Amino acid sequence: MKIALAQLNYHIGNFESNTQKILDTIRQAQSQGADLVVFAELSICGYPPRDLLELKSFVEHCEAAAQHIAKHCTDIACIIGLPTINPEIKGKDLFNSAYFIENGRVKAQINKALLPNYDVFDEYRYFEPSRQTQCIDFKGYTLALTICEDLWNVNDNPLYVDEPMEHLSKAKPDLMINIAASPFAYNHDEERIQILGDNCRKYKLPLFYVNQIGAQTELIFDGGSLVFNDKGEVLDELPYFSEALRIYEFKEGKIQDLSPLQIIPQTDIQQIHQALLLGIRDYFQKSGFSKAILGLSGGIDSAVVCALAAEALGAENVMAVLMPSAYSTDHSITDALDLVKNLGCKHEIIPIKAAAETFDELLKPVFKDLPFNIAEENIQSRSRALVLMAMSNKFGYILLNTSNKSECAVGYGTLYGDMAGAISVLGDVYKTQVFQLARYINREKEIIPINSIVKPPSAELRPGQKDSDSLPEYDILDQILFQYIELKKGPAEISAMGFDEALVNRVIKMVNAAEFKRYQTPPILRVSPKAFGMGRRMPIVGKY
């Protein structure tokens, strides 16, 4: 039996595109002699469809697409993922299902049993968990088909009270197949290999695992589909962040002609770089946009975003706008122009000094003789946002936000100013990681000017301003933020690690006080295990 794993990039709700892509892949796999081709979780509609699942017509479109695929799947079998209707009145209206299609019809329907309801996942909002299990007979073999989370309950602290493979194993299957929509985080690939390998070792069965690739707004899927032997050793790994189709022969209980691989994982920064490129590219392509705009300050954050956008979209599709103020340094303008030259992107220079002064005069009767403070600083930032959004409206550019995770965490940004944008590129990348990312972008030649990397970070909203005037040094700040946000440790635990107690309390207070700002930020491309946005849900008005 020859099994093909189809690692594809789906578009949520684009049934015509998804269906055609699946049919083309079926034909390609069939031409290469495959007996069965396996697609990812909810491949028909894309993952996650969220409240589109509440629309009856959306679910009907899924079923119609599946039946259309079945008609064209006659001399080869396939496994596809889709939502299906729960016939029982009790419980949720839908199942998260897999169809096993053979000889032009749906031969079996497998429903997902373990529905994740944590971090970015919200499946129990829509789906009823399956309480039944069944294996599938095909070509003289018994297949144990599961859907993503159904294999993730084998660790030392199980999240669920049941384990679907325990029931399936009683039918003595010959192999396991798992179809998934497993989002990217820079540490997730190693965890994924460990969990899936543990299943193989526990049940002494080989495993074919298929993941999808592509970005769905803030969620990025990295692929990395896997094949394991019955000892839990990785026999093959599909590429990360790109589509792939690969065929394997299964015979006499073994996967043929493959030896265990020595997996050498990419560094975190390498993975983050690839993920952000895919996130930018898919956000634009799937939304029907082509041109990006951003404010280019000469600092490291906007430089990194500009370089990523140029690589993802093509330099000719990126507009960098330099908006010097009364407090901008000459080297900031020079650094920004050097980057533009290195990238070959478009640029404009639009000074905002006159605009800020106009607003100062406009507000003078109200502000009277009150001293210069954050109000005037923010007027400068909001003047820049006004320029960028005007150009966006006039020329059809989409604004990229350049704030990093450290700034987002502590509220070091201006609402309706530098926090504006359609998509946040670095909102899940700490400042210390931004420096690493800049150096990685420069790994072969200088793209980002060295001065943008080495000079002290500054918002340049007042004379001689530095980030360190308002914030702890980033190498300390980011460690505290990581412990609090990603690892969910409280102030006492963090202080016990050797950090100054007063500093820890100050940082955590800033994080909590900035929740109202984060609620109004653009969607953030998720690259960490705990990103702001849909993965971290905190009350705005709270006291803890």
Which letter does DSSP use for residue 522 in this model? P
User: Of 148, 306, 345, 408, which one is the catalytic site residue?
Assistant: 148
Q: What is the 3-state secondary structure (H, E, C) of 180-224?
A: CCCECCCCHHHHHHHHHHHHHHHHCCCEEEECCEEEECCEEEEEC
Distant-in-sequence, close-in-space partners of 506: CB < 8 Å, separation ≥ 6: none
**How many Cα atoms within 13 Å fall on the side-chain side of residue 322?**
22
Token readout for 383 is: 């003047």
Contact yes or no for 133/114 (Cβ under 8 A): no
Distant-in-sequence, close-in-space partners of 56: CB < 8 Å, separation ≥ 6: none
Which letter does DSSP use for residue 429 in this model? S
- What torsion do the CA atoms of 17, 20, 25, 26 make, to the nearest 10 degrees? 140
Annotation marks residue 148 as catalytic:
yes
Nearest partner of 421 among 302, 543, 249, judged by Cα = 302
User: Of 2, 21, 41, 135, which one is the catalytic site residue?
Assistant: 41
Contact yes or no for 431/457 (Cβ under 8 A): yes
User: Of 2, 112, 489, 517, which one is the catalytic site residue?
Assistant: 112
Q: What is the DSSP string of 457-507?
A: P---SSTT--GGGTS--HHHHHHHHHHHHTS---HHHHHTTT--HHHHHHH
Pairing status of strand 226-228 against strand 219-222: unpaired
Q: What is the DSSP string of 232-266?
A: S-EEEEPPBSS-EEEEEEEETTEETT-------PP
Task: Compute the distance between CA of residue 454 and CA of residue 10 in angstroms, rounded to an integer.
Answer: 40
Task: Compute the distance between CA of residue 223 and CA of residue 236 in angstroms, rounded to an integer.
Answer: 13
Residue 233 burial class via C-beta count within 10 angstroms: exposed 0-12, middle 13-18, buried 19 and up: middle
Task: Compute the distance between CA of residue 494 and CA of residue 500 in angstroms, rounded to an integer.
Answer: 9
**Residues tagged active-site:** 41, 112, 148
